Amino acid sequence: MRIAIAFVAAMLTSAWAQEIKMPPAFDKLAAKAEESVDVTLDSNMLQLAGKFLSDKDADQAKAKKIISGLKGIYVRSFEFAKEGEYSAADVDAFRAQLQAPTWSRIVGVTSKHGENNEVYFRTSAGSQIGGVVIIAAEPKELTIVCLSGTISVDDLADLGGQFGIPEVVLPKSKAKGKEE
Amino acid sequence: MSTRLLAVFLAASAAAFGADREFDRLVKAVESRFGVQRTHIPLMGVANFFVKVARPEGATGFKLAVFEDLRFDGDGAALDRIMADASEGLHPLVRVRSRRDHEWTYIYTGEAGKSAKMLIATFERNEATVIEVQLSIDALLRSLGDPARTGKMFAK
C-alpha cells in the first residue's frame, strides 16, 4: 500500500513538475512595470466556457473542440517606462523550464532592435502539441504566453487573437496543406 | 403544495444569496481595509431596472459599490490578498496593474445558473469601484475572447 501511495505521489509530483511556472521574479517585474496584464484561463474557466459553447454553431463547435484539450491559458505582459527595466536573467529564469527533449524551440526571431520572439512546443504524440510557450521580448515590453494541454498546429493558429493570445503565424500542418 | 412552493422559494433565495456573496464580501473587505463606507448612489435600483430591461452589452443585472476618499497607497500585494480572499469560489480572469495611471483592476468570473457573472474591482489613488454583473453567455464569451482588452476597458 505504501509503495502504491509513493508511486502515485511520484507520478503526481512528476506531472506537477512538468507544468510551466511563472517565476517569482515576474511579480517583482510587475511592481516595476508601468503596466502589467495578467490573464488566467485555468481548466475550470475553460470548462465553464466550453459548457456554454454550442455544438450546433460551427464556429462555437470548433472553439469547443479546441478548448476541450486545453488545461489552461496564461498570459503575462509587462510594459516598462524605459529600457533595461527587465534583464535577460529574468527571461532566462523562465526559459530554463523549457528544456529538451520535452520542449522544442520551433521559432526564434532576433532583431537588431532588441525584439526577440521565441515559440516553444512541448512534444506530444502524433500531430498534437502538448503545450505551447511564446516569449515576446522587446526593450520596453515583455510578454509570455503559456498554453497548457493538447492542441494541433492548425488549431493553435486559429487561437491567435483569442483568449489574450497574440496572432501567431505558423505553417499549417502537412495534412491540411495537401487539402489546400 | 405549499411545502413545495416554500422549497422553491428557499432554493431561489439561496441561489440569489450565493450569487451576491462575493460582491458583499469584497465590499466589506474594502470598507474594513481602507476604513471607508461605500458611497450612496441615488436611484441605483432604477438604473438596475433599466439594465434588466435594456440589457446593454449582454448585462442582465448589476450591483455597484463606489468608495471615495480611499487613500490607496499602491500596495498591490495587499490588494491581491484582499481580492483572493473575497473572490473565493470565482475564477480569476484578468489582473491589470498600471503604475502609470495608478490603477489596479481585477476581474473574476463564475457560473450563475444558465448565465455567468463577473466581479470587477478597480482601485485608484482615491477611489475604488466594485461591480458585479450578470452576463449573457455571448457577453462572457466576448470577454473571454479578449480578456486583456476587457481588463483595460475597465481600468481606463
Is A10 within a domain?
no
Measure the CA dihedral A42/A48/A53/A59, to 10°. -10
Which DSSP string corresponds to A58-97? HHHHHHHHHHHTEEEEEEEEEE-SSTTSS-HHHHHHHHTT
What pLDDT is attached to residue B151? 63
Grid cell, residue A162, equals: 483569442
Measure the CA dihedral A78/A82/A85/A90, to 10°. 50
Domain count, chain A: 1
Is A7 within a domain?
no
What pLDDT is attached to residue A150? 86
For range A138-154, the mean pLDDT:
88
Is A125 within a domain?
yes
Is A88 within a domain?
yes
For range A58-84, the mean pLDDT:
86
Is A139 within a domain?
yes
- In three-state secondary structure terms, B131 is strand
- pTM, two decimals, is 0.74
Among A37-51, A85-99, A156-170, which is the least confidently predicted range? A156-170
Angle subtended by helix axes A43-52 and B137-145, to nearest 10: 130
What pLDDT is attached to residue A140? 94
For range B114-130, the mean pLDDT:
89
Task: Say whether the ipTM exceeds 0.85.
Answer: no
Given a cut of 50, whether residue A175 has pLDDT beyond it is no
A50: confidence class by pLDDT, cuts 50, 70, 90: confident
Q: What is the pLDDT of residues B2-23, one digit of tens each?
A: 444 444 433 444 444 445 688 9
Helices (H), A120-160: 153-159
Is A75 within a domain?
yes
Chosen from A26, A27, A34, A35 to mutate, greatest number of chain B CBs within 10 A: A35
Tell me which of A102 and B18 has the higher pLDDT: A102
Grid cell, residue A125, equals: 504524440
Q: Which residues span the domain enclosing A51?
A: 22-169
Given a cut of 70, whether residue B90 has pLDDT beyond it is yes
Domains for chain B: give ranges and CATH numbers: 19-155 (3.30.2030)
Tell me whether residues A163 and B144 touch, CB distance under 8 A. yes
Residues of B with CB under 8 A from a CB of A: 76, 91-100, 109-111, 116, 137, 140-141, 144-148, 151-152
Tell me whether residues B100 and A35 touch, CB distance under 8 A. yes
- A45 to chain B: which residues are within 8 Å by CB? 91, 93, 109, 144
Q: Cα–Cα–Cα angle for B87, B95, A69, nearest 5°?
A: 85
Tell me which of A57 and B125 has the higher pLDDT: B125
Percent of chain A surpassing pLDDT 90 = 24
Residues 6 or more apart in contact with residue B68 via CB below 8 angstroms: B36, B39, B126, B127
Question: From the list A36, A39, A52, which residue is nearest B137 (CB)?
Answer: A52
Tell me whether residues B116 and A44 touch, CB distance under 8 A. no
What pLDDT is attached to residue B124? 92
Is A44 within a domain?
yes
Given a cut of 60, whether residue A16 has pLDDT beyond it is no
Average pLDDT, chain A: 77
Among A16-20, A113-117, B68-72, which is the least confidently predicted range? A16-20
Under 8 Å between Cβ of A103 and A133: yes
Q: How far is A101 from chain B (nearest CA, A)?
A: 32
Measured over the CA atoms of residue A87, residue A90, residue A96 and residue A98, the dihedral's sign is: negative
